[in-house]
Structure 1
Amino acid sequence: MFSNFIVAVSAVVPIFVLIGIGLLVQRAHLLTKEELAHTNRLVFRVFFFFTLFSNIYNADFADGFNPRLMLFGAAAVTLLFLGGLAFSCLFEPLRKRRGAMTQAIFRSNFIILGLPLVVNIFGEDGALMPTMMVAVIIPLYNIYAVLALETFRGGTFRLLPILRGVLKNPMIDGMLLGFLCRLLPFPLPDPLLRPLMQVGAATTPLALIILGASFRRGGISESRRDLWACVFIRLIAAPALVLTAAALLGFRGVEFVTLLAIFATPCAVASYAMAQQMGSDAALAGNTVVFTSALSCFTIFGWIFLTKTLGLF
């Protein structure tokens, strides 16, 4: 039992120490809102690009490619998306809030919090399987988010612009470049490859510090009921359903923890920007990010400790 406790602590504490450093950066006013926005854009467009590139370029695909896991992950995201649509329509009469609620239910912070979680438990060798899942999960997140937000603001869902947007996603582009470089008849020279790897290695600490520095408290009185419903579903109900199904289907080890990293992590930071840009309730979207991120230090620890005790990894 104590060893399981240590595993859970070792997985969660490093992540939230880095977020805590970000909170100190915020309190010291070392970065303005504009500087944070620019740094966030830099992390997303440059650092994540090289992280995914380095993971794919150095990958052993015999160990990482898992069609059964990919199919399960895609099906689970799709079902959560459909469930989020239905729940938001039944629970919230205001159309403006429904898109933000749907995003909060199905879209997690898999890249910033999930990938480091798997690495903290299994080491760098365990990063390949969740990296391969990025190719499935991130496009689905983008497509479903646009579909939900357009639906509830009365817009038109157009598939081709969405697909073009997915192909412009730096994480997808980094993976594609990694695949292309693996096809070359010669390895990349070390003086070129080494700095690319160093940039990729710096991504997680920087992204988590910026996440902590970006936390803002907003008014929640108008949408308190919606907020706490989203928090409960994102951190408790959704992972309970998906992880139970995964356990019953026989997923174990790094497969199971990869699913935990996708479905038990808090709301995606990008959901706030998308809600703001597409006419949804940006305040609600921002609060779901803040509150799920803050509370996930306890819920993620609980899920890891529980599932480790049950022998699922």
Structure 2
Amino acid sequence: MTGALNGFAVIFVLVAIGYCTARFRVLGEHGVVVLARLVYSVATPALLFEMLAKTPMSSVFSPEVLVAGAAVLVIATTYFFVARLLWHKDMQSSVLGMLAASYANSTNLGIPIAAFILGGQQYVTPLVLFQMVFYQPFAIMLLSLGKSVPGKRRLVEALRGFANPMLVGGLLGVAASATGLPRPVFLDSSLAMIGAMTVPSALLVFGMSFVAGSTSDQEKASRRELWFAVLLKSVAYPVVAYALARFAFGLDMSAARAATVLAALPTANMVYVLAVRHNRCQSLARDVSLATTLVSIPVVFAIVWFFG
């Protein structure tokens, strides 16, 4: 339990540092945008490559990864179609809201929770793999398709989605794992150092958003969107993950417990980075991330108590 609480404490400390950084203009007027671009275009692709290059291909299509994917699919499509059909939101707003409701903080919270509550970091690997290999690149492609461009340029934007840095980093990592070709030590070390910036930098960006976001985001989140996303992420997602793990995929109680606990993790700060990158729904991404972080503390402990 101490490890999980430490994980939450680290988040709040880095968010507070990010807030102070923006409040005192340490990085200037556009610091949050520049740092978000660094996370999006440099740090995360390096992290993806390093993680996937060292992951056996058999792990990418394990039953646990399929459970993670199926649970995300249920929650993501629910938000997406409600936003599109009932609220008449545009594509980019719907996709970013979908991510806020379903993209879990599987790294800086998932790793300590897996280690100290579930008994091993290996439990979080399926969720990390699914989100970074499949879900994130697919969502970024949808964001590219959702840009307001003339019909002739829509195909160009769609193709450009395949060239985004995160997808390139992930595909190169998969290729490196599949081929098993040796890499220079200096290359691995360099990419590991760059990739290590991802989590702390994303948290700093999130903290900075409470100062910078209030003036840069013209699209304020409604209470309806906010609480619907929070309800899906913190309540529906764990329930769906448990049901799929136990009754659809027939996983044992240990694996079902892991899937349920990890499904209760709060929204990842990467969603806010993507919102800044596309200059849409920054308030929604920020507020859902904060709300689910606070709600996830009692929810995670309730799930642990439920499983005994």
Taking structure 1 as the reference length, the TM-score comes to: 0.74
Matched-pair identity in %:
18
After TM superposition, give the deviation of residue 40 of structure 1 in Å: 1.1
CA contact (8 A) 1:118 1:254 kept: no
Matched, 1:243 2:233: no
- 1: distance between equivalents of 2:70 and 2:51? 24
2:297 pairs with 1:301? yes
**2:27 is the counterpart of 1:34:** no
In structure 1, the residue corresponding to 2:307 is in which secondary structure? coil
Q: Structure 1 stretches of 5 or more lacking a match?
A: 277-281
Aligned equivalent of 1:269: 272
Q: Helix, strand or coil: the match of 1:207?
A: helix
The answer to whether the aligner puts 1:132 opposite 2:129 as a matched pair is yes
Q: Give distance in 2, aligned partners of 1:15 and 1:264.
A: 13
Greater mean deviation of Cα atoms: 74-83 or 35-44: 74-83
What is the CA–CA distance in structure 2 between the aligned matches of 1:157 and 1:110, rounded to whole Å?
Answer: 32
- The residue aligned with 2:167 is 172
User: Cα gap change, 1:198/1:270 in structure 2, threshold over 3 Å: closer, same or farther?
Assistant: closer
For 1:25, the aligned partner's letter is T
Q: How big is each residue's C-alpha offset from its partner over 1:41-94, in whole Å with a ceiling of 9 and x where there is no partner?
A: 1111111111011112222445x33443333333333333432244336754xx
Cα distance in 2 for partners of 1:166, 1:184 equals 25
Counterpart position of 2:230 = 232
Deviation at 1:180, TM superposition (A): 3.0
Partner of 1:202: 197
Question: Superposition pairs for residues 97-108 of structure 1, below 5 Å?
Answer: 100=93, 103-108=96-101
How far, CA to CA, are the matches of 2:232 and 2:214 in structure 1?
A: 19
- Tell me if 1:213 matches 2:214: no
Q: How many pairs were matched up?
A: 294
* Deviation readout 1:7-28 (Å, 9 max, x if unpaired): 5313322223222221121222
- Alignment partner of 1:17 is 2:13: yes
C-alpha spacing 1:297/1:223, structure 2 compared with 1 (3 Å): closer
| Separation (CA, whole Å) in 2 of partners of 1:117 and 1:257 | 14
In the alignment, the residues of structure 1 paired with residue 13 and residue 4 of structure 2 have an alpha-carbon distance, to the nearest angstrom, of 14
Tell me whether 173-182 or 243-252 shows the greater mean CA deviation: 243-252
- The unaligned stretches of length 5 or more in structure 2 are none
Q: Distance in 1 between matches of 2:219 and 2:175?
A: 50
Partner Cα distance (2:263, 2:28) in 1: 31
Aligned partner of 2:63: which letter?
A: R
- 1:88–1:98: 8 Å Cα contact kept in structure 2? no
Judging changes above 3 Å, is the alpha-carbon distance between structure 1 residues 237 and 167 closer, same or farther for their aligned structure 2 residues?
same
| Structure 1 residue 222 displacement after superposition | 7.8
1:52 corresponding residue in structure 2: 48
One-letter code of the match for 1:36? V
Contact 2:42 2:165 in 1 (8 A): yes
Structure 2 counterpart of 1:164, one-letter code:
L
Q: What is the one-letter code of the residue matched to 2:43?
A: F
- Give the conservation status (yes or no) of the 8 Å contact 1:56–1:128: no
Residue 7 of structure 2 corresponds to residue 8 of structure 1: no
Pairwise CA distance, 1:293: 1.9
User: Post-superposition shift, 1:141?
Assistant: 2.4
Q: Assess, with a 3 A threshold, how the Cα gap between structure 1 residues 143 and 105 changes in structure 2: closer, same or farther.
A: same
Q: Alpha carbons of 1:49 and 1:143: their partners in 2 closer, same or farther (altered >3 Å)?
A: closer
- Could you tell me whether the CA contact under 8 Å between 1:105 and 1:233 is conserved in 2? no
CA contact (8 A) 1:235 1:266 kept: yes
Give the match's secondary structure for 1:115. Answer: coil
Query: Cα offset for 1:142?
Result: 3.2
- Alignment root-mean-square deviation, CA: 3.9
Contact 1:239-1:263 within 8 A present in 2 as well: yes
Which residue of structure 2 aligns with residue 279 of structure 1?
none
